[in-house]
Amino acid sequence: MGVVIEREEWELNPLVYVFLFACCFLSVFLFPHVSRSGVTVGASTTASSLFDLGPSTTFLRFQRRFLLVYSIASAMEGLQSAYGEFEFGYNGMTKEQIVSAALAGTVVAFFLGTSAGILSDIIGPRKICICYCFLHLLVGVAKSVTRQPGLLLSRMGTGLASSVFAFCFESWMVNEHEKHGHRVDLLSDTFWLMTLFESSCFIGSQGLGNLLVKNPQKGFLSRASPAVIFAMICILYMWKEWNADCQKFTVSSYRQSFTGKIFSDKRVWMLGWAQASVQFSVSVFWILWAPTMVADGREVQLSHIYPCFLGSRMLGSTAFPWLTSAASPLHNEDHNLLTAALAVAGLVLSIVAYDYQDIAVLMALFCIFHSCIGLILPCLASLRTKYVPNELRGGMISASLVPAHIAFLLILLLGAYYRSLSNASILASAAAGLLSAAGCVRVLRLWGKYHRQNQREL
């Protein structure tokens, strides 16, 4: 007599969605009111009045216009990455071809993405933001008219676009913020809102992608169309509503400035390593979280779990203003906050890499990891404002991503192509990177403290 093993599919409690998004809403909604009744800085509070429907100040108008463009750009980024391997598998590509396409996208991001960061500082980040939209426009057209060759080219295009997305809009916003004469301390409000809006747009992109993928027989024209439409809207809006860039450097002057202020500053090196470690760990997570969840034949509705990760990232970003406000004990302690978040994220990945976990435990650990990422991103952006000149910001961010691209390329070769590296080893390497980044930020904090003590003695 045969033995039948019944498989039970693990299901996520829908109340988790309600809890995450209710916490995010309350955190964003309540913070301006609590901040106004608490400690203020100077004549005004640093709270971002996202729900303020009254007459907007000049800064709020600027912030909302930028967040509108950034949300559309984030939706494009989310749409192109929503389908994953399904799109390649549907078009008959083997696993080796999929890995080769990922390798090609990483190589393009490594070479051209780094050059684009330097170019954005020379010719202006607005032009690079428009190029980012053109990349998504071309990728959408390529997916609509061709199959496998178009998918390979589109993977290279999206690889470059993702690399450009990491720095171009932040550089553009910071330059415009400075050009309009807004207070520097208000930048932190926009940084955490960028993470919040980006994560929420990724969730919306997945929902839209799920609707468009229900009938694959219609082809990928309908799936590429939203990204094309968003790209055209974004290009027209930026071209019409935002002022043109002013070229600040020649190639020779930029080389001298970059060498003197970036390559020669050990503090920027430390900050760049932290950025590279975070980028690498996030890239590793998105290729390994699904295989880790379904290991040993476990059945899970992965599409239901994905929004929880991004919801946790949203919640982490909303914690940033609470932890850095004037009433918080961590006020002006971005280094300590970033060190703690990096350490917790590294420990979480270490636990996952070390031992087999129940699905519920994995779910909780991965949500904690993404909450830390939501907190880390605005912290890194705020520290860049302290240590990196605004006119060199794009080049610094793109240069800091070089180690992440190299490490991810090696992971794809050894782990996915040659299969000589286990998933646990890959996760352990990402965890080691995050822990080393926490150490770098701690050293950066001690250097700053030592420098201030020397200044007082003098």
Reported as a single tens digit per residue, the pLDDT across 227-236 is 889 999 999 9
**Per-residue 3-state assignment (H helix, E strand, C coil) for the chain:** CCCCCCCCCECCCCHHHHHHHHHHHHHHHHHHHHHHHCCCECCECCCCCCCCCCCCCHHHHHHHHHHHHHHHHHHHHHHHHCCCHHHHHHCCCCHHHHHHHHHHHHHHHHHHHHHHHHHHHHHCHHHHHHHHHHHHHHHHHHHHHCCHHHHHHHHHHHHHHHHHHCCHHHHHHHHHHHHCCCCHHHHHHHHHHHHHHHHHHHHHHHHHHHHHCCCHHHCCHHHHHHHHHHHHHHHHHHHHHCCCCCCCCCHHHHHHHHHHHHHCCHHHHHHHHHHHHHHHHHHHHHHHHHHHHCHHHCCECHHHHHHHHHHHHHHHHHHHHHHHCCCCCCCCCHHHHHHHHHHHHHHHHHHHHHCCCCHHHHHHHHHHHHHHHHHHHHHHHHHHHHHCCHHHHHHHHHHHCHHHHHHHHHHHHHHHHCCCCCHHHHHHHHHHHHHHHHHHHHHHHHHHHHHHHHHHHC
- Gyration radius (Cα) of the chain, Å: 22
Cβ-contact 346, 435 below 8 angstroms:
yes
The pTM score is 0.90
Task: List the domains of the chain with CATH numbers.
Answer: 15-31+60-457 (1.20.1250.20)
Q: What is the pLDDT of residues 238-288, one digit of tens each?
A: 888 777 766 667 888 888 999 889 988 899 999 999 999 999 999 999 989
> Is residue 44 pLDDT above 90, yes or no?
no
pLDDT digits (tens, 9 = 90+) for 367-406: 999 999 999 999 999 999 999 999 999 999 999 999 999 9
User: Could you tell me which of 79, 73, 70, 72 has the C-alpha nearest to residue 224?
Assistant: 79
Distance CA 25, CA 295 (A): 34
Structure tokens at 103: 């390798």
C-alpha–C-alpha distance, residues 157 and 109, integer Å: 9
Looking at residue 100, its pLDDT comes to 81
Residue 219 pLDDT more than 60? no
pLDDT bucket at 42, cuts 50 / 70 / 90: very low
CA gap 108, 130 in Å, rounded: 19
* Residue (of 422, 402, 457, 432) closest to 115 by Cα position: 402
Within 10 A of 398 (CB to CB), how many other CB atoms are there?
27
The tokens 């918080």 sit on which residue?
328
Taking the C-alpha atoms of residue 297 and residue 441, their distance in angstroms, rounded to an integer, is 40
For the stretch 119-144, pLDDT in tens is 999 988 999 999 999 999 988 887 77
- Judge whether residue 205 has pLDDT over 80: yes
